[in-house]
Chains A and B, each alone.
Chain A
Amino acid sequence: MPAVSKGDGMRGLAVFISDIRNCKSKEAEIKRINKELANIRSKFKGDKALDGYSKKKYVCKLLFIFLLGHDIDFGHMEAVNLLSSNKYTEKQIGYLFISVLVNSNSELIRLINNAIKNDLSSRNPTFMCLALHCIANVGSREMAEAFAGEIPRILVAGDTMDSVKQSAALCLLRLYKASPDLVLMGEWTSRVVHLLNDQHMRSILPLPHCLYPLDFNPSPPFLLQIVSSASTDLQDYTYYFVPAPWLSCKLLRLLQCYPPPEDGAVKGRLVECLETILNKAQEPPKSKKVQHSNAKNAILFEAISLIIHYDSEPNLLVRACNQLGQFLQHRETNLRYLALESMCTLASSEFSHEAVKTHIETVINALKTERDVSVRQRAADLLYAMCDRSNAKQIVAEMLSYLETADYSIREEMVLKVAILAEKYAVDYSWYVDTILNLIRIAGDYVSEEVWYRVIQIVINRDDVQGYAAKTVFEALQAPACHENMVKVGGYILGEFGNLIAGDPRSSPLVQFNLLHSKFHLCSVPTRALLLSAYIKFINLFPETKATIQEVLRSDSQIRNSDVELQQRAVEYLKLSSIASTDVLATVLEEMPPFPERESSILAKLKKKKGPGAVTVELEDGKERGELNGGGDRGGDASTPSPSADLLGLRSTAPVSGTTPSAGSLLVDVFSEAGPSATSAGVNDDGFLSSAPPTVASEDPAPPLPESDELLNKFVCKNNGVLFENQLLQIGIKSEYRQNLGRMYLFYGNKTSVQFVSFNTTVSCPGELQSHILQLEPLVEGGAQVQQVINIECLTDFIDAPLLNIKFRYGGALQNISLKLPVTINKFFQPTEMAAADFFQRWKQLSQPQQEAQKIFKASHGMDTEVLKAKLLGLGTALLENVDPNPENYVCAGVIQTKAQQVGCLLRLEPNAQAQVHTHKCILLDSMLIMCHQCKSILNSC
């Protein structure tokens, strides 16, 4: 086979590249480059017209210089000229230059598009491919506009060569990704189906799934091709004795976009295919080369993914598990890694969970001995996924012992996993407490707030473990050096339950106090603040410690502490302890009430850290957590809807913990800040009966109330308020958002004196959001208020708000109400501060049409600066001061956090006082025009 010689064709280029390579220093290189740039510039400017060859050579040199990392500010025109050459090599360099150095210089784009158009219609397959590759590489909106109509035609035309079709299909894909609105396959659908049903075409056409017609249904021959691909048609595609591995993987992956076939015969064929793949993987290798086994196993892993996707064939699932089990001890690290990864998903299937569990010893061994940290991490993931009641103690113990030597990079995640498993599978709570304290001992630095908050929540909610917890923390605190998190947990627990161990003279009140106080000086301010609260609790629990503790509080280092929080606590606690009567003290410093039932904050954190695969276990964990936490039947539920951050009152200015606001049925109490809006939402009063008249009420969720959209707008900039009210029911809402997660507390108030029965609520989310709703008791007593928690995760950008449907019977009549939950994309904004230069640089970069949206609208509610500012801040972005040269304008920046991506967003509002209109321009990294509408509605509602 003839090979190309070095730099053949362009001697000058080869000489130049050699020169650069021989440069001894950066300076010499720059000098040589500048010399060359000057030379090229003079050639391009010279009187003598350059021939195609020279032009090609110089453009190629410019490209080389650019690829070395230097800026190129000329030569674009010459490159565009090359596009219209009829010599392949010249054209190729022209297209390459355009593809690599593309900038949206509109004038050139027009010329480039012209050249492309000519090549596409040239009927010369080589030129057509060059043009298609250029479109595929650039993929700009301008190109999509120009060619989205033309390319499908090339794709389906009978006389187009196969290789051109290949390029056309992928070119279309690129345009589809960049501008899905422009690629309309509608009229071509039937002809695309024709292509797909042709086995030969399917083998060579890498048609991506998003271009498949919506109603495409994989047919039996389609499936059969996966295994029968040894046919002569595919001889060119055999790779190390494996027939068409990439095609097989692609088809298997495609099937994962569809549910299992319903037709029994087709399903049977498919199962047969999958069995054949599993069988083939077991056959003795046809070659010792790693390429052979890799290609074969690529298909095997893809087939297993499909088996897991269907999750309906127990035999296949168990077989898959067994075959993966063989890989767990394979000498190829890659295979061990992939087997661990794949088994992790098998563990979540009820059919294969037990089969996965049989490999526990091997996996534990992998955790201990693998050299590659990523393999150890997969082993830890798998242990987590295979954990259940039967093996929890063993797995938690192994994970704890691994933590002692675990890599720093994965410690935090390991800690979360141990904490979750310990909580989830705790049969006795002493084991749980031991485990968490061990965690703190072994990896205290990696134990986040969520973890130690959680252990306290659980101890408070479970009175059977309180004495044990007090005893254990007391013992743990004996260690000369213990982690600050241990001090926090110890301080909190002894402050609440120290009395339970005070009978033992070895842990008498004074001993407990001295032990805690011996740690005080080594701790940070928040921990000291916590300890001070523990001390005041001690005064209540053990009057005999009062004098000692007052002495401590009175010392200059407390009462004159330079930290205002510590000083305040010392002063107030001292005063409280000296003037309050025992009764008052006992009331104020009462034991903490149980915490309300809710999703573990640890779990939320782990979900945030990891993709879905790693957290499969907790899908069914609602019930079990209920057991552990003892439920919320001890009352006080509605009283503490605050996030766990406030658990200890560390951040609140009121230092007295232990008192909770009354859980009165007056909704307004809960929404003190929402007072005014409660009246404004009163518009619903008369709308109620007409929206769900009892006579026609059906069991299907009602359509959303007509005013829901307006309600939605009200909540764009605020998180709390009254969502809905009629004669029967008031719904209040409090919500909080962090990154791509949101939590909503809904408060349903029964305004009547009659109970609501069959009270049931459901949330339906668009696919871009995921929600989890904790179900309520079906009875709501007259005058009562119940609280419901809804967790929301934003997977990707979305337009439609989730719908909340509420159904209940009031005096026998079915009430059926649907509302939009006020979840709008801006709730997931993270404000971003940036300097003016930075802002405008980004602003300019994001100049493609699909990245921006602009609206001019009437300022219907005036243009007061402060109001506008407040609204823009309410939107969730950072309001950037002194950035826009025009002081009248407002500019904002933020990042929308979704699970799939983070989308930066810049926004500028230009009020025009004379015309009383705003021009509002929003720049986004993605096509989310919805933002623009939202901004408008916010400002309109000013």
Chain B
Amino acid sequence: TVWIRFILIQNRAGKTRLAKWYMQFDDDEKQKLIEEVHAVVTVRDAKHTNFVEFRNFKIIYRRYAGLYFCICVDVTDNNLAYLEGIHNFVEVLNEYFHNVCELDLVFNFYKVYTVVDEMFLAGEIRETSQTKVLKQLLMLQSLE
């Protein structure tokens, strides 16, 4: 089955702002993956594609200001669907955090996980409707 192997949000300096793993990796391996992704993604410029081969997989990524949002999927997977999946996710974050910036992800790291789980689960796309996701997030926000 085809699925997302991991989702990473990193800044240009290589600091991880979110790492979500959908496959078993040990800690060393995770660190290695994080560094490798950073190395392959940051050398690319706007004239390059948003896709890059990575080990036996591929990374679909998009840069927003200083942040790289990267999704690692199977080589046969639909590039554009995941590329827009990233954008959809970013739009939700933007709405939820009201003009999201890197600091929001730092200070509210535990909420970012909630947003991710609403939209991606078990390596699959769970919910793509921004309306539904935001409604659910606001409901959760109201809970104590």
A contact set with B: CB distance below 8 Å: 1-4, 6-7, 14, 17, 21, 60, 63-64, 67, 69, 87-89, 92-93, 96, 99-100, 126, 133, 136-137, 139, 163, 166-167, 170-171, 173-174, 177, 204, 206, 208-210, 236-237, 239, 244-247, 249-250, 253, 291, 294-295, 297-298, 301-302, 333-334, 337-338, 371-372, 374-375, 611, 845
Contact = CB atoms under 8 A, between A and B. Distances in A.
B111 to A, nearest CB: 7
B110 A63 contact: yes
A7 B107 CA distance: 5
Interface string B45-58: 00111111100000
B121 A2 contact: no
A388 B141 CA distance: 62
A486 B134 CA distance: 66
B109 A208 contact: no
B121 A133 contact: yes
Contact of B144 (A87, A100, A167): A87
A245 B131 CA distance: 15
A64 B114 CA distance: 15
Given A7-B108, A845-B26, A1 B98 contact: yes
Interface string B67-86: 00000000100111101110
B129 A237 contact: yes
B143 interface: yes
A63 B110 CA distance: 9
Contacts of B81: 245-246, 249, 298, 302
A166 B84 contact: no
20 contacts: A1-B95, A3-B97, A7-B107, A14-B107, A92-B114, A92-B140, A136-B121, A136-B122, A166-B126, A210-B1, A249-B78, A249-B81, A253-B78, A298-B84, A301-B78, A301-B79, A334-B79, A372-B48, A374-B53, A375-B49
A611 B55 CA distance: 12
A6 B103 contact: yes
B125 A334 contact: no
B64 interface: no
Given A4-B111, A87-B144, A246-B125, A298 B80 contact: yes
Given A93-B110, A167-B121, A3 B1 contact: no
Contacts of B96: 3-4
Given A7-B108, A163-B132, A611-B75, 6 more contacts: A4-B96, A4-B98, A133-B117, A166-B126, A206-B125, A294-B80
Given A173-B124, A239-B84, A374 B117 contact: no
A62 B20 CA distance: 18
Given A4-B108, A126-B140, A295-B84, A334 B50 contact: yes
Contacts of A88: 140, 143-144
A60 B111 CA distance: 11
A166 B127 contact: yes
A331 to B, nearest CB: 10
A17 B107 contact: yes
Contacts of B53: 374
Question: Secondary structure of the A side of the interface?
Answer: helix
B97 A239 contact: no
B61 to A, nearest CB: 12
Select the residue from B16, B48, B49, B143 with max chain A CB neighbours within 10 A: B49
Contact of B49 (A126, A167, A291, A333): A333
Contact of A96 (B31, B84, B108, B110): B110
B55 to A, nearest CB: 11
Contact of B79 (A92, A166, A338): A338
B106 A236 contact: no
A236 B132 contact: yes
A678 B60 CA distance: 56
Given A1-B95, A3-B98, A371 B125 contact: no
B128 interface: yes
Contacts of B121: 133, 136, 166-167, 170-171, 174
Contacts of B50: 334
Contact of A167 (B84, B123, B126, B139): B126
Contacts of A374: 48-49, 51-53
Q: Which of A93, A171, A334, A338 neighbours the largest number of chain B CB atoms within 10 Å of its CB?
A: A334
Contacts of B2: 253
A128 B26 CA distance: 28
Contacts of B129: 236-237
B110 A2 contact: no
Interface of B: 1-3, 16, 19, 22, 26, 31, 44, 47-53, 75, 78-81, 83-85, 87-88, 95-99, 103-104, 106-111, 113-114, 117, 121-129, 131-132, 134, 136, 138-141, 143-144
B88 A239 contact: yes
Contacts of A298: 78-81, 83-84
B127 A302 contact: no
A291 B88 CA distance: 9
A136 B26 CA distance: 18
B84 A291 contact: yes
4 A-B pairs with least C-beta separation: A3-B98, A298-B80, A174-B122, A88-B143
Given A210-B1, A334-B50, A371-B48, A89 B138 contact: no
A7 B52 CA distance: 35
Given A21-B106, A92-B110, A92-B114, A170 B144 contact: no
B128 A337 contact: no
A437 to B, nearest CB: 31
A348 B19 CA distance: 39
B78 A302 contact: yes
B8 to A, nearest CB: 13
A333 B113 contact: no
Contacts of B139: 126
B80 A301 contact: yes
B83 to A, nearest CB: 6
Given A4-B108, A60-B110, A237-B129, A294 B84 contact: yes
Contacts of B87: 291
A247 B78 CA distance: 12
A301 B22 CA distance: 25
Contacts of A2: 138, 141
B75 A237 contact: no
Contacts of A133: 117, 121
Q: Tell which of B87, B98, B124 has the most Cβ of chain A within 10 Å.
A: B124
Contacts of A7: 107-108
B124 to A, nearest CB: 5
A204 B125 CA distance: 11
A92 B128 CA distance: 22
A372 B44 CA distance: 9
Nearest to A163: B136
B75 A338 contact: no
Nearest to A1: B95
A337 to B, nearest CB: 5
A687 to B, nearest CB: 43
A237 B132 CA distance: 9
Contacts of B95: 1
B107 A6 contact: yes
Given A89-B144, A96-B110, A334-B51, A239 B75 contact: no
A297 B143 CA distance: 40
Contacts of A100: 113
B80 A297 contact: yes
Nearest to B46: A333
A334 B83 contact: yes
B138 A208 contact: no
A297 B97 CA distance: 30
Contacts of A333: 47-49
A208 B1 CA distance: 8
B138 A337 contact: no
Nearest to B22: A174
Nearest to A373: B48
Contacts of A239: 84, 88, 128
A294 B124 CA distance: 19
Given A163-B136, A177-B1, A6 B108 contact: yes
